[in-house]
Amino acid sequence: MSTEPTRAGSNVSLRERAYRIRRNALLMGEVQGQGYIAQALGISDVLAVSYFHALRYKPEDPEWEGRDRFCLSIGHYAIALYAALIEAGILPEDELTSYGGDDSRLPMSGMAAYTPGMEITGGSLGHGLGIAVGMALGLKRKKSDSFVYNLFSDGELDEGSTWEAAMSAGSHKLDNLIGIVDVNGMQADGASRGVLDFEPLAPKFEAFNWFVIRVDGNDIDAVRTAFDAARHHTGSQPRIVICDTRMGKGVPFLEARERNHFLRVEPDEWRQALAILDEGRGR
Q: By the criterion CB under 6 A, which residues form the site for ligand TPP?
A: 39, 74, 76, 123-126, 153-155, 184, 186-188, 261
Helix (H, G, I), strand (E, B) or coil at 87: helix
| Residue 42 C-beta: closest distance to Mg ion, Å | 9
Nearest to 69 by CA among 51, 86, 53, 83: 51
* Nearer to Mg ion (CB atom), residue 30 or residue 154: 154
* Nearer to ligand TPP (CB atom), residue 41 or residue 139: 41
Would you say 139 and 148 are in contact if contact means Cβ atoms under 8 Å apart?
yes
* Nearer to ligand TPP (CB atom), residue 73 or residue 146: 73
- Interface characters, 179-218, with Mg ion (x: CB under 5 A): -----x-x--------------------------------
**Which of ligand TPP, Mg ion, none lies near 126, with the C-beta cut-off 5 to 8 A by kind?**
ligand TPP
- Interface characters, 145-174, with Mg ion (x: CB under 5 A): --------xxx-------------------
By CB under 5 A, tell whether 260 contacts Mg ion.
Answer: no
| Residue 139 C-beta: closest distance to ligand TPP, Å | 26
Nearest to 68 by CA among 234, 278, 231, 222: 231
Would you say 239 and 11 are in contact if contact means Cβ atoms under 8 Å apart?
no
Would you say 159 and 74 are in contact if contact means Cβ atoms under 8 Å apart?
no
Q: Which regions of the chain does DSSP assign to beta strands (E)? A: 34-35, 69-72, 148-153, 177-183, 186-187, 190-191, 211-216, 239-244, 263-264
**Which of ligand TPP, Mg ion, none lies near 261, with the C-beta cut-off 5 to 8 A by kind?**
ligand TPP
List Cα–Cα distances, 41 to 12, 52, 172, 206, 263, in angstroms.
19, 17, 34, 29, 12
| Residue 161 C-beta: closest distance to ligand TPP, Å | 9
H or E segment to which residue 82 belongs: helix 78-87
State the residues that interact with Mg ion by CB under 5 A: 153-155, 184, 186
